[in-house]
Structure 1
Amino acid sequence: MRENELLNSSEAIEHLGIEKKEFNNYFKNSKEIKGNKIGSRFWFKKSDLDFWKELKEQRTVILTLKEYEKCFEFAIKMAYSARGSHGTGIRGARSEVQMADDFILGILAEHGIQKFIKEKFNIDVELDTEVHPDHITEQDFIGIKERNSIRPIRINVAVKASKWKNCFNIIDPLEYENPRRRSDIYIFVRVGLPSDHLFRILREHSFFKNVKDFLENSEGFKKIKELREIPIWVTGFSYHNELEKVREIPGQRFDNGYRYVKAVGQMHNSNDDWKDLVKKL
């Protein structure tokens, strides 16, 4: 296959090895996959697709099961430190399990970017690992390890987590506009966490074995897969003044006003971009 060869959307999806819904999101919404309209159809250069695929691989780090367990332990601590409800659930407030599931995505993202910076630039970022009862962490990076000490961070950095298919970094006005909480840099991270991750951890536990065996030996039921690792895809970052104030994004209108937003395709994500950011830390 030639580098300048053009592929249609079906061929592009097969070449990249991703799902159709993901491809459509990354092409139509975040515009990180580039296409050219010729006549009534879009065509994709193989060289552009290869660049996107290679960049994705370069920006993906893997958290081990042990690292996942460490993150989930922290999420549980945060869930049980709650002061009041965190939304509305069946019994009037979100349960500890629901809250821990909410927190885990962000914690995994923070540890993923910490590992990314260490692997790519050999810099040790110190994260805020204190449990805050009000769940408000003003900044995610608190320092840089140098020799035997930790120096304070020079700029304010926020790490924002999302599911694998999402395309926009969305910042609430309370966080973006509040001088105490606003950040200089917003890093956007996709986390490949299965929705049934807790069941996957429990699949080998003695009390869970009967359920696992039933599902594996019954037709028409999903199987509980094994959880071995968590991929963390660092998609890019934006400076504070680069986010756009909008009332909606494709497929979602914000009910109670506006948000500050940036699409993945508009984020800084080149090697030089990351080198410049790391120098600022």
Structure 2
Amino acid sequence: MVKILSKVEAIKLLGLDDKTFENYFKNAREFFCLPRKGKERFRFDEDELKHWKKDLIWRTINLNFEDYATCLDFALAQHFRKYVGSDWGTSRQREFGQKITNWVKGQLGEIAVQKFFNREFGKEIELDFDIHPKIVPQDIIGVLENRKMRKPKIGVGIKSSKPKSAFLVLGDKEIKLKERRSDIYIYCRPDIPDDHLLRLTKDLIVKAVKDKPLFSKYKDLLPDFNDIPCEVVGWCRYKELEEVSSIPGQAFDNGTRFVKKSGELHKSKSDWKKLIQQL
């Protein structure tokens, strides 16, 4: 017998915050409500939601401190390759935290895919963590076969966004320019905390402020570094992307973007096997 849940019960079952639930339900098509008439309240099938949550857990990889450090190393190398000494103290420095977070987030997604492929399918891949003078569209540069790494047969780009994001989004040049385009795009949602740099430097910060008058007000609130969960959401072919000028809650400046709802990505075990067979 089907057990029906209210929206509040559904949110509690999935362990999502209200905004993420709304995005996944209304915008991403991750899961659906039961048929309703007019302004009837939303109702959900408990078994369907449990199945969705089970799949989410299966696709989630916990990334450790070493994974994070590898990504931070890449982000810092990206940052400093564009800077000279005269840049310090200028307005460009105010962008540091956000840029580092964006770069770390992107690389975390790549490592999550690498670990997911190995854990679930026994497939080893090589990622490109080198610093290049120009944009390199392909993120997977090697596939282990017969104990040797070979080049992939297709181009694969790995994109990351926040956990609450409902869409895989790519810039128009990434798709319209053949030299920048990938055949396949994999979408990830790493849950990297905004204060990750604070967590990294907690001991140094405590040492610096422990004798200050306000330290007692927040000393027990300083967070520790924990593993970073990353959902390997799914994948799509570039031809399956839709060109749009906006998505719910966001109008794009300067033209269009190519997008795919996260719930419409290929994400079943058989889907992933099909992708791996193409590599």
Between the aligned partners of 2:56 and 2:15, the Cα distance in structure 1 is: 12
Between the aligned partners of 2:226 and 2:93, the Cα distance in structure 1 is: 32
Per-residue deviation at 1:100?
2.2
Amino acid at match of 1:103: W
Partner of 2:100: 100
The answer on whether the counterparts of 2:71 and 2:103 sit within 8 Å (CA) in structure 1 is: no
Partner of 2:73: 73
The percentage of counterpart residues that share the same residue type is 38
* Structure 1 residues 212-237: Cα deviation after superposition (integer angstroms, max 9, x where no partner): 78777317x99221112111101111
Which residues of 2 match residues 43-192 of structure 1 at below 5 A? 43-82=43-82, 91-92=91-92, 95-134=95-134, 136-192=135-191
Between the aligned partners of 1:200 and 1:123, the Cα distance in structure 2 is: 33
Between the aligned partners of 1:257 and 1:273, the Cα distance in structure 2 is: 32
Q: 1:227 to 1:216 in 2, by over 3 A?
A: farther
Between the aligned partners of 1:95 and 1:29, the Cα distance in structure 2 is: 30
SS at match of 2:266: coil
The answer on whether the counterparts of 2:140 and 2:156 sit within 8 Å (CA) in structure 1 is: yes
SS at match of 1:238: strand
Between the aligned partners of 1:259 and 1:227, the Cα distance in structure 2 is: 35
Amino acid at match of 1:25: N
The answer on whether the counterparts of 1:245 and 1:260 sit within 8 Å (CA) in structure 2 is: yes
Between the aligned partners of 1:229 and 1:268, the Cα distance in structure 2 is: 26
**Structure 2 alignment gaps of length 5 or more:** none
Amino acid at match of 2:56: K
**Structure 1 alignment gaps of length 5 or more:** none
How many aligned positions are there? 272
Moved runs in structure 1, 4+ residues, more than 6 A?
Answer: 212-216
Between the aligned partners of 1:83 and 1:218, the Cα distance in structure 2 is: 37
Partner of 2:232: 234
* Structure 1 residues 84-119: Cα deviation after superposition (integer angstroms, max 9, x where no partner): 9xxxx9715765544322211101110111111010
SS at match of 1:31: coil
Amino acid at match of 2:79: A
Amino acid at match of 1:73: D
* Structure 1 residues 114-151: Cα deviation after superposition (integer angstroms, max 9, x where no partner): 111010111111111211234x1221011112344210
Q: 1:150 to 1:212 in 2, by over 3 A?
A: farther
